Structures are given as C-alpha cells and as structure tokens.
Amino acid sequence: MEKRKFERIPVNMAVNFHSCDMNYSGNVSDLSEKGMLISVKEIHFPFTLRFTIVIPLDEKVLHLPATLSRITTSPDFRDAIGVELLNPCRDYLEFIDSLKSVYKI
C-alpha cells in the first residue's frame, strides 16, 4: 500500500467556496499541508477545476487557492470533493503545524 506524502489530520471544520456562480458551504473531514476532503450537501455541475477555499479561523480568514482532485457522490451519503491546495500560505501551514501537535502527528 502506498503511503501518502502528507499525513491526514482528522478535523470537523466549516469552509466556504464558490464555483460556477454557486456558493458552497461544507465541512472538512481531513486535511494536510497540500489538500483536504470537503463534504458538501450537494454538488452542482458544471463545476470549475480551480477555486478558492475560505476558512474562517479565530483571528484570521484564510483564502486558499485550490484545484479539484476528485468528486465523490452517493445517493446514501453526502457528496465530497478532494482538493489539492496550490501554494498554501504560511498562515495555513502554521495552522496545520498547530493541529499536528494536538494530534501528535
């Protein structure tokens, strides 16, 4: 089994993003330095490959450019998208480091 380049950190965090005139709200279930999995209520097509994820933190709001890696849809479960972050900012990487210390990763 191939090991991931970056360890996934389990979280439950609200995010927002915009694609093709649609605003989405979702929950991040896991994240890493270079990506995240976001559950959403539903995904509407067309859906752009590049967009910005907005993460509200206590003292800051992060705007993270991302590209779509995969879409998962199911009639029994919520839809989810896997995203790759494009050049994550220092604030995001510091946030990830703080989570790693909490989860001992």
Query: What is the model's pLDDT at position 3?
Result: 55
The domain of 14 spans 9-103
How would you label 2-39 residue by residue, b for 16+ Cβ within 10 Å and e otherwise? eeeeeeebeeebebebebeeeebebbbbbbbebbbbbe
Which pTM was predicted? Answer: 0.87
Pairing of strands 35-40, 79-85: antiparallel
1 assigned to some structural domain: no
2 located within any domain: no
How many domains are contained in the chain? Answer: 1
Note whether residue 82 is domain-resident.
yes
**Ranges of H-type helices in the chain:** 90-103
Residue 105's pLDDT is 64
Task: For residues 31 and 54, give the distance between their C-alpha atoms in angstroms, rounded to a whole number.
Answer: 14
Give the model's pLDDT for residue 16: 96
Quote the pLDDT of residue 85: 97
CATH number at residue 70: 2.40.10.220
Tell me: the pLDDT tens digits for 18-71?
998 899 999 999 999 999 999 998 888 888 899 999 999 988 999 999 999 999
